[in-house]
């Protein structure tokens, strides 16, 4: 089952608020990380480096929940449960550079010559949107 990203949900994902990503660990606990994210063609794009724990946990679990506020407003947010669609190093460096521009950095400053980036793509299954007045 797939859910469609559209309207205000798409606007929030394309905004500059960071994403809170919750991933189930093998022991049943939940790992939460705060990362840059984007939306393209109805999929959520995340980026990390090979060797970090959270991408390995995501690959193992095959699913995660991504939550983002709208413009820093805790009264408007979206939470998306998704399945891992792809994890690739192909285009991952370009993706992190595009995220750096989106988040106002101009270029990705934390790069390391020895670091290999990985782009992780989630396909939304359930979307929860909340706006409180």
Domains of the chain: 7-127 (2.30.110.10)
Q: Which two tokens stand for residue 113?
A: 């010559």
Predicted confidence (pLDDT) per residue in 53-70, tens digit? 999 999 999 999 999 999
Q: Which residues have a Cβ under 8 Å from the Cβ of 105 and sit 6 or more positions away? A: none
Q: Is 51 helix (H, G, I), strand (E, B) or coil?
A: coil
The arithmetic mean of pLDDT across residues 1-7, rounded, is 90
Binned at pLDDT 50, 70 and 90, residue 110 comes out as low
Binned at pLDDT 50, 70 and 90, residue 105 comes out as confident
- Distance CA(35)–CA(96), nearest Å, equals 11
Task: Name the average pLDDT for the chain.
Answer: 94
Binned at pLDDT 50, 70 and 90, residue 124 comes out as very high
Say if pTM beats, i.e. exceeds, 0.85: yes
CB 84 within 8 Å of CB 119: no
- Distance CA(128)–CA(12), nearest Å, equals 12
pLDDT exceeds 70 at position 125: yes
Q: Which two tokens stand for residue 91?
A: 């285009």
């Amino acid at each position: 089952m797939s859910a469609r990203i559209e309207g205000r949900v798409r606007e929030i994902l394309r905004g500059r608020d960071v994403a809170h990503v919750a991933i189930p660990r093998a022991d049943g606990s939940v790992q939460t990380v705060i990362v840059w994210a984007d939306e393209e063609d109805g999929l959520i794009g995340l980026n990390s480096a090979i060797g970090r724990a959270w991408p390995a946990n995501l690959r193992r679990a095959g699913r995660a929940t991504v939550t983002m506020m709208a413009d820093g407003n805790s009264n408007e947010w979206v939470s998306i449960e998704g399945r891992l669609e792809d994890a690739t190093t192909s285009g991952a460096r370009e993706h992190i550079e595009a995220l750096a521009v989106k988040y106002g950095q101009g270029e990705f400053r934390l790069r390391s010559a020895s670091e290999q980036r990985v782009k992780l793509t989630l396909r939304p299954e359930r979307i929860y949107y909340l706006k409180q007045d």
